[in-house]
């Protein structure tokens, strides 16, 4: 495997040097941290750096080879936030919220899907039903039944009216994800001349539908959760 056979991969020497430089910085921070819980956080950042660099290598792109790394990062995050996780009993921070990190992650992606559909011209009720169907098709149910669009509606309104702190990441996810989203014209969704204005891609609705349908199916959709 080399750059000649994988032209999309940047120079190997540059890639390795970037990784080593970042790890050298992170290991110093790790060793200097006296607090046990914060040290755990620094260890997670170290792992995340390795996983992030490996993800740049073509054979890792679009595969589930790095899922164990991501699962460990989600596990550590759940310990820090007090959310439930099947691998261990979480720290007890009190309160009644029992939603797991994975469940919150799905909630975030559902809201992102609704947002993308609304931007594509969907009415709210249409978007709720579209995402509920995507949830059901991805194998997720609500107490064994097809996923209700009422759940999607509730999550969207919680986001829209800022009633749920767990959805605070949504806006950042939207801005980061869609800012980098390529469009069918070889440009970017927010920077495309197909509409004549150089602002938005003319195929926004089509791309939004594809995103909303597939976001909950791919094995590595967790990337955006653990990296933000």
What percentage of the chain reaches a pLDDT higher than 90?
Answer: 15
Phi, psi of 120 (to 5 degrees): -85, 5
**Widest pairwise Cα distance in the chain:** 56
Q: Give tens-digit pLDDT for 136-163.
A: 887 776 777 777 899 899 999 988 888 8
The pLDDT, as a whole number, for residue 125 is 96
The pLDDT, as a whole number, for residue 152 is 92
Q: Where are the alpha helices (DSSP H) in 55-95?
A: 67-81
Q: Give tens-digit pLDDT for 74-126.
A: 878 777 666 666 666 443 433 334 555 666 777 888 888 899 899 889 999 99
pTM over 0.95: no
Is residue 116 within 8 A of residue 215, CB to CB? The reply is no
Domain ranges for the chain: 12-81, 101-226
The pLDDT, as a whole number, for residue 99 is 56
Q: Give, for 212, the enclosing helix (H) or strand (E).
A: helix 204-214
Interior/surface letters 64-83, b for 16+ CB within 10 angstroms, e for the rest: ebbeebbebbbbbbbbbbeb
Contacting residues for 27 by C-beta, under 8 A, at least 6 apart: 46
Q: Which residue has the higher pLDDT, 198 or 16?
A: 16
The pLDDT, as a whole number, for residue 21 is 93
Q: Which residue has the higher pLDDT, 214 or 7?
A: 214
The pLDDT, as a whole number, for residue 20 is 93
Q: Give tens-digit pLDDT for 29-60.
A: 988 888 777 888 888 889 889 988 888 888 88
Q: Which runs of E-coded beta strand occur in the chain?
A: 141-142, 145-146
The pLDDT, as a whole number, for residue 224 is 40
Is residue 190 within 8 A of residue 178, CB to CB? The reply is yes
What percentage of the chain reaches a pLDDT higher than 70?
Answer: 76
Cα–Cα distances (Å) from 138 to 5, 38, 47, 157, in that order, read 35, 36, 29, 23
> What own/partner pairs with CB < 8 Å and gap ≥ 24 does 2-8 have?
6/58, 8/58
Dihedral, 77, 82, 83, 84 alpha carbons, nearest 10:
110
The pLDDT, as a whole number, for residue 5 is 54
| Model confidence band, residue 228 (pLDDT cutoffs 50, 70, 90) | very low
What average pLDDT does the structure give for the chain?
Answer: 78
Residue 208 confidence (pLDDT) above 80: yes
Token pair listed for 72: 């460990």
The pLDDT, as a whole number, for residue 82 is 60
C-alpha span between 161 and 157 (Å, rounded): 6
C-alpha span between 198 and 192 (Å, rounded): 5
């Amino acid at each position: 495997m080399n750059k000649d056979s994988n032209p999309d991969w940047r120079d190997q020497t540059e890639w390795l040097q970037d990784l080593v430089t970042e790890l050298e910085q992170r290991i110093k921070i790790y060793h200097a941290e006296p607090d046990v819980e914060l040290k755990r956080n620094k260890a997670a950042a170290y792992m995340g750096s390795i996983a992030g660099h490996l993800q740049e290598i073509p054979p890792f792109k679009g595969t589930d080879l790095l899922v164990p790394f991501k699962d460990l990062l989600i596990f550590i995050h759940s310990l820090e936030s007090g959310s439930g996780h099947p691998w261990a009993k979480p720290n007890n921070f009190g309160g009644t919220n029992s939603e797991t990190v994975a469940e919150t992650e799905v909630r975030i992606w559902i809201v992102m899907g609704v947002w993308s559909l609304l931007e594509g011209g969907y009415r709210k009720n249409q978007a709720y039903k579209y995402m509920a169907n995507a949830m059901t098709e991805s194998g997720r149910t609500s107490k064994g039944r097809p996923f209700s669009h009422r759940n999607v509606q509730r999550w969207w309104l919680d986001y829209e009216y800022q009633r749920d702190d767990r959805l605070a990441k949504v806006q950042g996810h939207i801005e980061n994800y869609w800012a980098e989203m390529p469009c069918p014209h070889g440009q970017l969704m927010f920077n495309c001349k197909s509409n004549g204005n150089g602002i938005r891609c003319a195929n926004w609705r089509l791309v939004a539908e594809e995103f909303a349908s597939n976001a909950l199916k791919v094995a590595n959709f967790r990337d955006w959760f653990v990296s933000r």
